[in-house]
Amino acid sequence: MDTHSLSLISTLLLVFSAAIFGGATAKLVKQPLLLGYIAAGVLFGNVFPAITDQSFLKIIAETGVTLLLFTLGVEFSFHRLKRLMSTIGWAAVFQILLCIFVFLLLTMFLGFAFLPALIIAVAASLSSTAVVVKVLSERGELDTIPGEVMTAWLVIQDLAVIPIMILLPAVVSATTTGDISLVGLMSSLGVSIVKAAIAIGIIIFMGRRLVPQVLGKVAGMGSREIFMLVTVGLVFLSAVTTYTLGLSAALGAFVAGLLIAETSQNHAIFAEVRPLRDLFAVVFFVSIGMGIPVHYLWRSAGLLAILTLAILLFKWFVVMGLMRFLGYHRKTSFLVAVGLTQMSEFGFIIAAQSVALGAIGGEHATLLIAVTFLTILISAPLIARGHGLYYAFHEWLGKYTPMLFHTKKELADMKEELPFRDHVVLCGYGRVGKYIGRALEMAGLPFVVVDYNNATIAKLKEKGIPVVYGDPADKDVLDFAQVDLAKALIIAIPDRHTQEMVIGHAQTLNRRIKIICRTHHEEDQKHLKSLGVDAVVQPEFEAAISIVERLLPTFGVPQDEIAGKISRLKIEHGAG
């Protein structure tokens, strides 16, 4: 084995070792895996710099970026975007542009030249889809109002990557050649737009005319290996098309993903490419960490702290203000703002593309990567603890920020007590709550809904269903819903912190009220029952019971045995 081959093998061994160590550590401390990959890359890269082949690592990482953007395109939905654009589309675009402008001024004030400052500002304006979706899915909050708004906002930011990748080479070209006049800049932008239009036009033509036919014939062959090879080949063909015209190869992969998302084979393609994407993406994140020298982090600690805090605080303030302007409840606004504070993993991609274009040097790229890493590191636990953070912030600073936390506005409709007694108070009218409400309506039982989703409140008022607009965790809101006179309280909200506050306030108002609460996690059952909850329902467990009831008769199991087995399952689950 020659020296070059040994170097490649040792580099891959080092990368995979760092990925395993970093991923396991991140999993242990309940942090996003990509943070573990980057941190382990920093550690291993600085401890073993002599056995790392940087050029080989760079090639593998760039391949990972291409596949990463392709799969993001495949997961994208134009139909979903159309539905969301009418509500928060303009706000998300305004947030991106305002952040770019402010961060550009800040970085230039800190002594950066125009081009590095612009690239840092563009990267700082975006947020991490991977981190936010990961944290929300683990907490079962993707389908909550804050979760839906955050996801929609991130989708629009992901789509903004297309014009960023189109315009970045033009701006770099105009700046590096010294032609920074308005005419010269507009000329460069025009050329880039024309090139992008040609490239995207070619890809769209291929996607609509050739790709479905090719994929259909290949899928008919019944060979997974050939299907995967053809798919990856199409990805790189699109990447080469855009690269040949002087644009980013990753842009071509992203557009190819968008087109394939509309085909009937999109799920099969995603399933085939995802393992390969994950492998190369891990190498990409580890290689990012390996490129960060520890001595630079120590030397630039002050600058990193200033940029990190400025990005986190300003993005929170902008998103919070926009959400309140759109009419969302202060709690929803706060949670969405906290969720969008960090920088995006696209910051790593923008850094790599900028270095390849010669726009920034290695030191600026290291700074951009380090700031992206730090913002994600800080924001991830904040998102996970968003509800508790909201109540603490509201208690400490809410009275000093009346425009953002205007309690009187939220309680404006609570002037007269509701004419209810022995009714049901339903907290939350989402996926679970709406079916409970419908059942109560059919049974003719009096109930009142407590929710802070504007759209839900409007629909319920149209139907004539009694509703209170406000946070169920607010004691004044529960008091207005006549919890002190209610017979039962149903908590259909998944967040544990909110559940605890609702339970505490409800028992303060009415010690005899029957409380039924949902939860996503088995470990929360004992805790909730210790707080005085009469019944804890876990939707996933109830779904399993329903499946068992339908499955066992198929195999001839008698009904009395089925009932016994279900009782046993409930006892083991803690619901018996």
Say whether both 454 and 345 belong to one domain.
no
Task: HSE, CB side, 13 Å, CA atoms: give it for residue 383.
Answer: 35
Burial class (CB in 10 A: 0-12, 13-18, 19+), 25: middle
- Within a domain: residue 423? yes
- Within a domain: residue 561? no
d(CA 327, CA 188): 41
CA distances from 210 to 405, 461, 573 (A): 55, 51, 53
Which residue type sits at 340? L
Helix 114-124 × helix 90-109 angle, to 10°: 140
pLDDT of residue 48: 77
Span 234-238, average pLDDT: 78
pLDDT of residue 310: 94
Residue 261: its H or E element: none
Q: Is the pLDDT score of 422 beyond 60?
A: yes
d(CA 222, CA 111): 59
Picking from 341, 358, 392, the residue at the C-terminal end of a domain is: 392
Q: Is 447 helix (H, G, I), strand (E, B) or coil?
A: strand
Span 97-117, average pLDDT: 89
- Nearest Cα neighbor of 12 from 274, 282, 228, 250 is 282
CA distances from 15 to 29, 65, 184, 225, 574 (A): 21, 16, 44, 26, 44
pLDDT of residue 409: 46
Q: Show the domain range for 85.
A: 3-392
- Within a domain: residue 122? yes
pLDDT of residue 416: 59
> What pLDDT, in 10s, does the model give residues 470-492?
888 888 888 888 898 899 999 98
SS (H, E, C) 13-58: HHHHHHHHHHHHHHHHCCCCHHHHHHHHHHHHHHHCHHHCCHHHHH
pLDDT of residue 411: 47
Reported as a pLDDT band with limits 50, 70 and 90, residue 215 is: confident
β-strand partners of 51 = none
Span 275-298, average pLDDT: 75
Instruction: Give the other-Cβ count within 10 Å of 562's Cβ.
Output: 15
d(CA 236, CA 300): 38
Say whether both 255 and 182 belong to one domain.
yes
- Within a domain: residue 160? yes
Number of domains observed in the structure of the chain: 2
d(CA 36, CA 13): 17
pLDDT of residue 315: 95
Say whether both 253 and 150 belong to one domain.
yes
Q: Which residue has the higher pLDDT, 282 or 189?
A: 282
Say whether both 271 and 417 belong to one domain.
no
d(CA 314, CA 380): 17
Q: Is 165 helix (H, G, I), strand (E, B) or coil?
A: helix
Q: Is the pLDDT score of 77 beyond 60?
A: no
Say whether both 352 and 205 belong to one domain.
yes
Show Cβ contacts of residue 269 under 8 Å, excluding neighbours closer than 6 positions. Answer: 74, 215, 231, 260, 263
d(CA 431, CA 423): 21
Q: Is the pLDDT score of 31 beyond 70?
A: yes
Residue length, the chain? 576
Could you tell me whether strands 535-537 and 424-427 are parallel, antiparallel, or unpaired per DSSP bridges? unpaired
The CATH number that applies at residue 329 is 1.20.1530.20
Backbone Cα Rg of the chain:
27
- Within a domain: residue 114? yes
Say whether both 380 and 435 belong to one domain.
no
- Within a domain: residue 337? yes
Least confidently predicted of 63-67, 185-189, 223-227, 430-434: 185-189
Say whether both 97 and 173 belong to one domain.
yes
- Nearest Cα neighbor of 307 from 95, 102, 39 is 102
Reported as a pLDDT band with limits 50, 70 and 90, residue 220 is: confident
Please give the backbone phi and psi of residue 270, each rounded to the nearest 5 degrees, phi first: -60, -40
Q: Which two tokens stand for residue 109?
A: 């004030």
d(CA 85, CA 156): 8
Q: Is 410 helix (H, G, I), strand (E, B) or coil?
A: helix
d(CA 486, CA 506): 10
pLDDT of residue 102: 93
Say whether both 347 and 427 belong to one domain.
no
- Within a domain: residue 548? no
Buried b (16+ CB within 10 A) or exposed e, 392-410: eebeeebeeeeebbeeeeb
Say whether both 268 and 362 belong to one domain.
yes
